[in-house]
Amino acid sequence: MTASPPPVFAMIVPPPLLLDNDAVRRHLSLDALLPAIGQALIELSAGRVVQPLRTVLELPGPGSLLFVKPAMAGGALAAKLITQVPGNAARGLPTMIATLLLLDPATGVPLAVMDATWLTELRTAAVSAVATRALRDRRPQRLAILGSGALARSHALARTAVVPIRDIRIWSPTRANAERCAADINGIASRDAESAVRDADIVVTVTNASAPVLMGRWLKPGALVHAVGAPRPGWRELDDEAMANYLIADQRQAAETESGDVILSGATVRCEIGEVLAGKVQVPDGVAVIFKALGQAVEDAVAAQLVYAAVTSAPRPGGG
């Protein structure tokens, strides 16, 4: 007698949470994000994060790119797709759009799909803020921002959370954009990049430039530069003189293989910011510091985990 096959039970995977950008804004706190980002950078430098180099696909349109970025750290597993489309500004659309998938690392079950536009803007600025807190004291700082998009605004927000800011000067190739950004963040629009940077204690470059917009001769002794733009091997935001200063990366391999600022200048990465945060490296006093941040996938993973935890722990309407 032939044995009957065992019964087949349909396994039902619960659908992931779908979180729009407004929901992410409501549930992602900068106060919670800053320490999480700091710890993530320490773990990354210590080799305790599983994170391959990102994949980059060129899209139609000048400077348009798709980045694919997976990472696993602790209890967080995530993959993010992010598009950078400079031409979107003329369409009334964000130049940067991101979508993130958060999964359970034990089962692979999707937990949430979230619009990661604000998540990316805030975690990028949080990385710079964590570095600022580690590399600068609490004296009032003069801030210059080259660029006038979403990252300029989020950097102004995050910077004021870690150091007192005396004033903010904004430059953009388009004067009207600089003036709008300056009005939004209580800053001053500068007539050119040099006048914005001269005498600045902290400089942030968040442009779509592919050729240098920041010259090393403009930097004051001991200035701190957050070089955030130019995410491709052939793109530059900083000239060779600027890159000859003390160079710190968010991740050494990424900087040496993906950053045109580093590759084309021949600059040497002295250390990773995670090593500074962990107390393993002491940055010399009084030197100008370039912090090259390409945006690491582990930052997205821990930020998404914070959002998910906040959403799932929030009380439901009606007390249920």
Residue among 95, 145, 144 nearest 120 (CA) = 95
Q: Which CATH class is domain 17-119+299-311?
A: alpha beta
Give me the helices (H) in 80-192, please.
88-91, 117-135, 150-159, 175-185
Residue 265's SS3 state is: helix
The count of other CB atoms within 10 Å of the CB of residue 167 is: 13
* Domain definitions of the chain by residue range: 17-119+299-311, 136-296
Which residue pairs from 193-197 have beta carbons closer than 8 angstroms and sit at least 24 positions apart in sequence?
A: 193/146, 193/218, 194/218, 195/169, 195/171, 196/144, 196/145, 196/146, 196/169, 196/170, 196/171, 197/144, 197/146
CATH of domain 136-296: 3.40.50.720
Distance CA(21)–CA(263), nearest Å, equals 35
Distance CA 258, CA 263 (A): 8
- Residue by residue, pLDDT tens for the chain (320 residues) are 566 666 655 567 789 999 999 999 999 999 999 999 999 999 999 999 999 988 999 999 888 999 999 999 988 999 999 998 988 888 988 887 899 999 999 999 999 999 999 999 999 999 999 999 999 988 989 999 999 999 999 999 999 999 999 999 999 999 999 999 999 999 999 999 999 999 999 999 999 899 999 999 999 999 999 999 998 899 999 999 999 999 999 999 999 999 999 999 999 999 999 999 999 999 999 999 999 999 999 999 999 999 999 999 966 544 44
In the DSSP assignment, the letter for residue 303 is H
Q: How far apart are the C-alpha atoms of 101 and 67, rounded to whole Å?
A: 14
Q: What is the dihedral of CA 115, 120, 123, 127, to 10 degrees?
A: 160
